[in-house]
Each structure stands twice: as C-alpha cells, then as structure tokens.
Structure 1
C-alpha cells in the first residue's frame, strides 16, 4: 500500500493514481468513481487525508465545482468523511474489518492473547490492488449464468480452459478436462487425499511443511511418513530411504517457495525427486499455492508434474490474490481423474460462480501493474523484516528465499516453544517450529516469521520478538 492510514495524500500523488480522465462520463463522476475504486482496492487507505479541493483543482485543471461535487458524492456513499479542522479523509463504509488471518493451531493453548497483539501466525497478504473492482466486473458477467442451475461441480468451462492453458505455457501440456476447480487449495488437497489415500495407505510428507496440508491429508492416511527437508532443498537419498522403508503410496511436496522454508526446487532436484517416485511407484501430491509469489529474479522450472507424470497438482489464489477469494484447482494425469472426480463430488457440488469469474478476470485481464505493485510491496516487507531481525538478533540465521511469504529462522538454541510462549506475553503471536513438523513434534531450533504485515508493524513485531528471545534464551 502506498501510505499508512491517517497519512496525507498529496494532490500530485492522487493525480498519478487516478490516471487519465474518462471522456465518456461527467468529470465529477469520473473523479468520484475512480477515487472510490482506489479506496476499495486499498490503494488509498481508510483514514488517509485527501488533498484539499483547492490543491486538487490546481493539479487536475478541473473546476472547483467539479471537485466539490465529487467529494460530496464520496461522502454521500460513505467513502469520505469531512472532519472539522482536518479536511476530507478517505473512508470505507462501516470502517475496515480486522481479523481474517490464516488459521493455524493455537500456538499457546489456553492463554489469551493481549488485545494489541501482533499476529505472525498468518502467512497470507492483503488483497491484490484492483480486486474489489474485479468483483464489480464479475457481478456484471454473472448475469450470463443465472438462467441455468448454477452447478459446475468441476468448474466453469472457461476457467478450466484458462487454467489448462496456463499449465501448458509453463511446460506441462494440459487439457481443460484435466482441471477440477475447488473452493481453495486446501480443499483441493483434501479431495486428492480422499482419492489417493484410505485404509492401509501411507503418505510421505516433507518436514517441515504447511500445517494446513497436514490437516487435509492426515484423516485419510493410515500413516504420515516424515521426510526431512532443509532450507537448502531436498535430499534425494532421504526420499529413497523413506519410500523404501515405509512403502508409502503417495508423496507430498511444496516445490515452489516451500512453506515454511521458502526453498524453490530447481529442475535437477525435480528430476531426481521424480526418478525416486517412479522407482517406488509413488503418486505425487504437489502444492503450488505460492508459485506466483516471485520476489526476486529467478527462472521457474516447469511444474513438478512435468518430471513425475503420476502427479496431482493443487493450487489456488489465496496467496497471490486474497485469502478471502476461496478458489483453487486440481490438475491431474488422466488415469487419476475418475477417482478425483468422485472425491470432489463427495465434498461439494462446485465453487461459487462469481468467485470463479473474478479469478478468470485475473488470469486473462490486464493485471500486470497490479501484480507488480503487489509483489513489490511484499518484497519490501521481506527486506524490512530481514534487516530488523538481523539487527536485533544477529545470532539468528536464515536462507533468504527468492519468493514466498515467510522467513525460516534457525535459532542458536532449541527454544522455539518457549519463545512462542514468551512472545505472547510480549504481545506477539507466532507458532513454534513443531507446528510445521509432520510428526507434530520437534523442530525446536526453528521459527517462522511471515512478512505480510505493513513495514512499521513488522518493526514493532521484531522489537517484541527480541524481548521475548531475551527471556526465552
């Protein structure tokens, strides 16, 4: 976001955000509607002081009457407030709604969090700029579908075609029939687990890994087999050993900016991993939720399924667009599709049409500038967090990821659980390393810190983290 709430937006900056006027509508309406869009999309934050009418008149070259009328229209709709002595401020009708963080297991069960606690349990960023207006466009398009029943259990044909084309362009030839749309990557993983696992069937899972993925697959598996992974990447020998000794039929990996380590598997590592899976006749389960969160220049390899054809790939837009946009998908080899289709119908009858249209808009529309701004903001937050932790806690170490949403710190002492407890006392919520362990235990020398909050909040969080570590160490 361009500026924190309660800051002042200059007329020159607002004019750059507004872009060129639309000659097809009255000037006051263009100004009011465009500014409203900036507020709803988070480019102008709730509480930001807007330019004075006189300054905006001078910068835009419009009449005072036009600007006055536009500001009045914003106030009438609840997108601006006139405050005595402080001018006009941007507003969201009803005010911004807090909360909505990504759920993880309670980091310190039974201990209430302070009311002003900073939450570092969630690794999900705010919405991409432009999302609110994408909903408006989708609402206009949904009229084409309301004459039918509205059930699309495997997804809108148009969205499936776009997703298939996207996989093909990334180096994995895919037909629309190989795509199943779901209500999020987590549901995709649950569908895959129901189709691939069951009584007597085991799944090998890298550790550490994303707790939500574990929650999705554990109920369907007779056993979860942990396979160690480091921040530097996978060890093929560990996979060979785990698969040979366990007899696991399914293997789960986050190949792109792994959560929590941030590791990106290169093409050679994917080839070696695919060779191990083929040797033991294993079906792969790949989570690509973070594949679009690329922060530094890096060449992305083809999808893991290009190296291991008997693979189910799951993805979604919770990290690239918004966590509240619950749309995900499955891409699978043809032999696996019948079982996946049955499992999908056992868990739901389809994803909401409106949300599918929003995702299709993102995949096919002119989102280049919004994507760049979204990733730049995340990269800046990563760099702020990295510098703050290295300054306050120089004995901590991490491998800086080229993408993803979190840093995975190695602690000088195995005190992760105690650190999480002390952090809560300091007003900071963060999960201990054991939350990310496939076995639910261990990883005491490790802690994850997401960088999805605003820079100033991250700096305050690190101050609290340093105090907590001083008490925990």
Structure 2
C-alpha cells in the first residue's frame, strides 16, 4: 500500500468543477471515481477525513460520508483501520468492448498507416537477411550501414554527425527510458513540458527523478510563420525554472510538440540551451515528429548550436524514430549524442535489451534514402486530416477551439468545459477510444482539452465525431460508468 495521503485542499484542486445536477454525494462520488480511474489519485492513497473534506468543500459531513460509502460499495475505496479511506480499484467492473475489438475506433494512437514503399523494402530486406544468419544476431548498437544513413541525414540538416554518434534502439520509447536510466540518479530534477508525451513521464519517474514542469501551449491563431513568435513556450519562465530547480536533465519536444502541435522558435531554443548550459543540464530533444511538416515545404528551422566536442554549451541528446514517419510496426528508434554519451548508453543497454531486431533494421535502412518522398506523402495525408478535423469541429462543436498547427500528428482541442475524462469514458460506449487531456499532464490538469489525431481518413473522422457527439451529451450531464484501469490503452 502507498504511503501517500491526499489533503482536503489537494483533493479540492483535483475535483475542479465537480458539482452537477446530480445529488451532492452522487456527483462527488462520481468525480472521485474518475480521478481514481484516470490515475490522478494513485491506488493506495489515503483520502482526506470526512470532516476535513466536508469543511473544505462546504458540505455537510453526511454528504461526504454518503459519497465515501458509495465508493466503498463500488469497490473504489477501502476502509482500513488506522488509515481511514484508501483508494483502490474494484475487482470486478462493468463489461466494456475490448480495446481494438471489432467496431472500436482507436484514436489513442496518433499514427499513420505504413508508408507505400514499405512492402517492397520488407521483401528486399528479407532477401538480404541470409547474409547475417551466420552471425549470432544480437546487435546492441545498430547495423553499421543503418547508423551511417541516420548520421548522414543529421549532417544534411546542418548537424555534422558520424555513425559512432548514433545508437539504434527498439523504438523511441526505449531511447527515452535508456537515457533516463543512464543519466539520472534518484532524486534528480528533470524539466519536462506539460502537457507532454505520457510515456516519457512514466520512464522518467521510473528512474526515480522529480519532475519540474514548464508549460507549453497550443499555437495561437494568426499569420505568423512557423518558428516565429507565439511559439507556445515562455522562455523567461523556462530560464527561471532552471535557476530555481537546478535540474540534471530537460526532456523537450521542440518540433510539432505532442500533443499541442507547437514548434519552438530558434530564439527560444537558444535561450533554453543557454539556460541548460549554465546549470550543467543535459537537454534531451525528442524529434520523433520533427519531419512531419505540413506547411513548411522545403523550409527547415535552423539547427541550434548543439554542443559537440568543439563548441561549448549544454550537452544535447537527440531522439529519432522510424515509427512515426514509416510505420508504427517498425520498432526502430535511435539516439544521436556525443561519443562519450553513446558509449555510456551502449554500456547500459544490455540491462534491458540484448539487441535490436536485424530484419527491422534492414527495412529501415532501405527506406531512409526515400524519406524525402515519404515525407511528401505524409504531408498530403496530414493536410487532409487537419482539414477534416477543423471542418468537423466547426460543424459539430462550434464552441470547441482547434489551434493552428503547421505539422505533427495531433490537434490539442479545447472543449470549453472540464469534462475531458468523462468524455473519454463515455466515448467508449459509442465505439471510440480517445485520450483525455489529463493523460498528458502530471497533476490532473488539462480537463478542458482532448487530443485528436490528424492521421485518420475522412470516413473514420465522421464515425469518430458522431461518437463524440453522443458522448458529449453524456459527459456534460450524466455520470459515466467505471471500467477496469487495466483496460486503458497506451497512448501513442
């Protein structure tokens, strides 16, 4: 059981605008249930005493006691002698459609279908595979010719790179976890954007680090070009955060940020790197979505002055992936860093992985020389997705707001009311899986947002928005049924 205890004030902040037309105790119980299901009240956390919570919420103690009693009866709270009321998950829950089951549309995955050259590349890789069968097959570093292709792409973008500065990983997620485990010690502070990619939060927490949030907002409306003002980051606040927290590392998504779609301007990048350098922090730049532009055809943001052996500044570790541009089923990622950092990462990698699949590396190595053409194909797919999302939001939900995004895979949609978790839960019964806004935060915030991928077909969007319309009526007016947290899908 967790030793965590939730104060009445903390629970009040998590509850937000919880009062509905339902009876007071019912609305309170429903909201606490959602917080437990969403993970914002961790299992094993001791809830506030009835008297304390009643005083904080200006309710009668009888109302709070009735809410706790309903939670106990539903299996969301245990009464433990000496510990009060402790959050838990019920052993049995209401039946729900299986994730990815027949008829379910999964919008928790912001990913495109396989790039058109993949099938041919896979056949050619299979023919090439026999050349490697006499070897053990355990490849902890990456095939030399694949590392050379990756290094050459960085060089063409303006960052001279050699193959020994590249480490191939099993997807970008392994890269994030490996960096956290290698360069962080328990108790270290890590600057991280909010909202951000949720599995990065999990990997950094598993390394024992303490999260220090900085805010990134969706791009503002207006005619400004990509990378100019209003980029979504507050450079002054970031500099203050580095001075106050003295972090060991910063994890950032500077290009087509997940989930907001924002892109950091060159000026902000330089200020972030200078702030990190002043405090000896490593900057981890997650570039998994960096090449998925829609509007900047032929226009790349200048590479910042990334530190290497000949230039002073903050150490930079860059993460890339084939999964976003080529296909999610190709679990190939990579890390670009200075040689000394790559050597440390190579030494740490066998603790969780003895080798990256050879056949998938061969496929990616054959596709990277075609990446410019593939990106053009992706641009058209994403442009259509963006236009369809904007159109359907305007038609079905005129009070919602969709930000400007010049690329990336997702739209960070403002829904105008703090009911994102309820909307995501209700959508399941209408055949749609979608990621609620708080899934991308660290403190239960972002209930007024929902992430909508830009990667589906117009027909799939019609189905999804019909489901959202049905779910919206439920989320705005009625409590939603609970479900097994183990059935929550991963967010990609």
**Normalized against structure 2, the TM-score is what?**
0.70
Report whether the alignment pairs 1:160 with 2:144. Answer: no
Match of 1:249 in 2: 248
Match of 1:282 in 2: 281
Partners of 1:177 and 1:436 in 2: CA distance: 34
After superposition, give the CA deviation of every residue in 1:333-386 in whole Å (9 maximum; x if it has no partner).
23423321222222212211111111111112x465544333312321221122
3-state SS of the aligned residue for 1:314?
strand
Contact 2:281–2:314 at 8 Å: present in 1 too?
no
Match of 2:401 in 1: 397
Partners of 1:175 and 1:336 in 2: CA distance: 14
Partners of 2:201 and 2:95 in 1: CA distance: 25
305 and 139 in structure 1: CA distance in 2 versus 1, 3 angstrom threshold: farther
Report whether the alignment pairs 1:317 with 2:322. Answer: yes
- Number of residue pairs aligned between Structure 1 and Structure 2: 367
Contact 1:205–1:251 at 8 Å: present in 2 too?
yes
129 and 107 in structure 1: CA distance in 2 versus 1, 3 angstrom threshold: farther
Matches within 5 A, 1:196-275: 196-232=183-219, 233-275=232-274
Give the number of the structure with larger relative contact order, counting CA–CA contacts within 8 Å between residues 6 or more apart: 2
Match of 1:361 in 2: 366
For 2:463, which of 454, 460, 463 is the aligned residue? 460
Quote how far apart the aligned CAs of 1:150 are: 2.4
Alpha carbon RMSD of aligned pairs, Å? 2.2
Partners of 2:182 and 2:435 in 1: CA distance: 31
Quote how far apart the aligned CAs of 1:463 are: 1.8
Contact 1:314–1:331 at 8 Å: present in 2 too?
yes
Partners of 2:257 and 2:94 in 1: CA distance: 30
Partners of 1:224 and 1:165 in 2: CA distance: 34
Report whether the alignment pairs 1:328 with 2:330. Answer: no
Partners of 1:162 and 1:248 in 2: CA distance: 33
Partners of 2:240 and 2:146 in 1: CA distance: 40
Match of 1:49 in 2: none
Report whether the alignment pairs 1:449 with 2:447. Answer: no
After superposition, give the CA deviation of every residue in 1:387-439 in whole Å (9 maximum; x if it has no partner).
111211111112121111111011222221222222223222212111000x2
Report whether the alignment pairs 1:125 with 2:128. Answer: no
* Higher alpha-carbon deviation: 300-309 or 289-298: 300-309
Match of 2:412 in 1: 408
3-state SS of the aligned residue for 1:199?
coil
Quote how far apart the aligned CAs of 1:136 are: 0.4
Partners of 1:377 and 1:107 in 2: CA distance: 32
Match of 1:67 in 2: none
Partners of 1:410 and 1:305 in 2: CA distance: 35
Contact 2:382–2:407 at 8 Å: present in 1 too?
no
**Which 5+ residue runs of structure 1 have no aligned equivalent?**
1-104
Report whether the alignment pairs 1:352 with 2:357. Answer: yes
